Amino acid sequence: MRNLFDQYKHPENRLTHALLTALHEDRELLNQFIPWAIGRQSGIDANHLYLLEQALPGVEEPPEAEASNSVLTRKGLPDGCIFNGHDENSWSLLIESKIAATLTIDQLNRHRKTAQEHGLPNPDMLAFVVSWTNDLIEGTQVKKWTELYLWLKQRKDSSWANRLSEYMEILEARLFKEGYLQEGALTVFTGIPFGVDDHAYSYREAKRLVRLAMEELQNRSDLATKLGVNKSEPRRKAITGRDSDAVWDFLKLSNAHDATNTRFPHLTLGIHREFLHVVVIVPNGIRTEFRKNLLSGGMSDFQQVFQAILTNFNKSFAKVGGVTPSVEVVQRRYKTQRSEPLIDAKLEFDLRTAFEKHTTAKFFPKIQPQWLAATYDALNNRASNIQLAVGAKFYYAQCEASHTPAILDHIANAWLVCEPLLKKMKAIS
């Protein structure tokens, strides 16, 4: 079924329509929106305000094609207008919406001039943009769409605020897929909603979430300082697939330089249907010196590395529910470069099975050190395409933090606990 807000072709018009519809239907939301938008009260009861799209008082709303390209636009019709009348005592707010296009002072001046010609003598002006350098424009408040999104998420008592924020998520996912939104975002990462109030996993939504999460994680100073995460290196060029059970992206390390992700360890985040998988990947094609460093010293040294990882894990996640230390060894092959891999063998286990337990917890994993020994043997006697992944799993149903922005800290910590592995390989100093 077509979304309530999908009434226009152009994304900017869709967002303006969605915003004005929500404000029109929820007058208390409108009453809160105005001081947030312009920094002060309008002095007008929200119930006495009129809302127009691509029009001004006395000007009929043009068809969308005309509104986007015609002389009317060049004359300065705003995307939205909120007002209480059109005389010398009136108050008004003009809204300009930008996603792909650039906001210009000339366009804002045309809006102001046209409004004055139609009986709005001193309009307030508000512009929504994807990105902004924080330059001041006299007489205009400039806000990012992400600011609006966060403001809406805080209006928990408004069903219309919830509808609008959900639509921004839906539209953003579409624009990513279509390539319309090349830089920036409409929303921000606020946690993983899957599993909350029967919120089902969606591949398209997972793609949006992994993109937003990784943009924030890539800029964390702790990951840059301790693991050497490269803040400027591009991530996956394209997250392809359709209706898959998982979406993933990775961060490169600065020491990798120009090496591909098949030649150097990297940090991967996977959003699955039931859990987050946060791992350091040791790919099959890793440099020979890294493999030798990891396996040198035999099983005893290998075990010590994983003991150090588990010690770090226990310190970092002692108070976090629904998270388990994870080790995965996979043998696979590919029909083509872009095809899904064929899994020939897979060993996955909770790292706590490898060491003597120091707890009386009833449901603590039983000890089975052979799983870690099998991991060493598989890597040491490799005769096929084998990948090692070490990190943690966060299960949505048990991990309350996964539904909040705080999960970003836990994701970062899941990578940081694997520092002994990267140091053993000498992939980081």
CATH number at residue 358: 3.30.930
Mean pLDDT, residues 347-351 taken together: 97
Q: Which residue has the higher pLDDT, 141 or 3?
A: 141
Asked if residues 169 and 27 have their Cβ atoms less than 8 Å apart, the reply is no
H helix runs in 52-192, sequence order: 64-69, 71-75, 105-117, 145-154, 159-178
Q: Which of 258, 290, 278 is nearest to 423 (CA)?
A: 290
Closest CA to 189 of 219, 150, 133: 150
What pLDDT shows up at residue 72?
44
What percent of the chain shows pLDDT beyond 70?
90
Residue 360's pLDDT band, with cuts at 50, 70 and 90, is low
Kindly tell me if the per-residue pLDDT of 73 is higher than 50. Answer: no
pLDDT at 359 over 50: yes
For 345-392, give the DSSP string: EEEEEEGGGGS------TTPPPP-THHHHHHHHHHHT--S-EEEEEEE
The answer to whether residue 362 scores a pLDDT higher than 70 is no
Contacts of 329 (CB under 8 A, 6+ apart): 345, 346, 347, 348, 374, 375, 378, 379, 386, 387, 388, 389
Give the whole-angstrom CA distance, residue 97 versus residue 232.
Answer: 29
338 occurs within a structural domain: yes
Q: Are 310 and 276 found together in one domain?
A: yes
Question: Quick check: is 176 in a domain?
Answer: no
122 and 255 inside one domain: no
Q: Are residues 143 and 239 in the same domain?
A: no
CA distance linking residue 272 with residue 303, whole number of Å:
29
Q: By residue range, what is the domain housing residue 126?
A: 11-170
Structural contact between residues 373 and 299, judged by C-beta atoms closer than 8 angstroms = yes
Residue 308 forms part of a structural domain: yes
Q: Which residues pair with 328 in a beta bridge?
A: 348, 389
For residue 241, being part of any structural domain is answered with: yes
Per DSSP, 253 falls in state: B
Residue 373 has pLDDT above 80, yes or no: yes
Same domain, 118 and 225: no
pLDDT surpasses 60 at 63: no
Single out the residue in 170, 203, 231 at which a domain terminates.
Answer: 170
Q: Does residue 179 fall inside a structural domain?
A: no
The CB-side HSE value for 342 (13 A sphere, CA atoms) comes to 6
* Angle, in degrees to the nearest 10, between helices 159-178 and 203-218: 80
Q: Into how many domains does the chain fold?
A: 2
- Same domain? For 199 and 155 the reply is no
Structure tokens at 80: 């939205």
Residue 180 within any structural domain of the chain: no
Q: Are residues 236 and 348 in the same domain?
A: yes
In which residue are the tokens 């993933």 written? 248
Instruction: Read off the pLDDT of residues 221-272 as tens digits, 9 standing for 90 and up.
Output: 999 999 999 888 777 655 655 668 899 999 999 988 877 878 899 999 999 9
Beta-carbon contacts of 241 under 8 Å, excluding residues fewer than 6 positions away, are: 203, 247
Q: What pLDDT is recorded for position 64?
A: 53
Q: How high is the mean pLDDT of the chain?
A: 89
pLDDT tens profile 145-189:
999 999 999 999 999 999 999 999 999 988 988 888 877 899 999
Is the pLDDT at 74 greater than 60? The verdict is no
Q: Is the pLDDT confidence value at 347 over 90?
A: yes
pLDDT band at 137 (very low <50, low <70, confident <90, very high): confident
The per-residue pLDDT for 361 is: 62
- Together in a domain, 225 and 148: no
pLDDT at 219: 94
- How much is the average pLDDT of 317-340? 90
Alpha helices, DSSP H, located in 155-297: 159-178, 203-218, 221-227, 288-295
Residue partners of 161: CB distance under 8 A and separation at least 6: 22, 26, 29, 152, 153, 155
If asked whether residues 146 and 242 sit together in one domain, one would say no
Last residue of one domain, picked from the residues 143, 170, 197: 170
Domain assignment present for 175: no
Considering the domain architecture, whether residues 211 and 105 belong to the same structural domain is answered as no
Nearest to 404 by CA among 195, 143, 245: 195
How far is 192 from 213, CA to CA, in rounded Å? 10
Instruction: Based on the fold, state whether residues 110 and 234 are members of the same structural domain.
Output: no
Cα of first residue to Cα of last residue in the chain, in angstroms, is 54
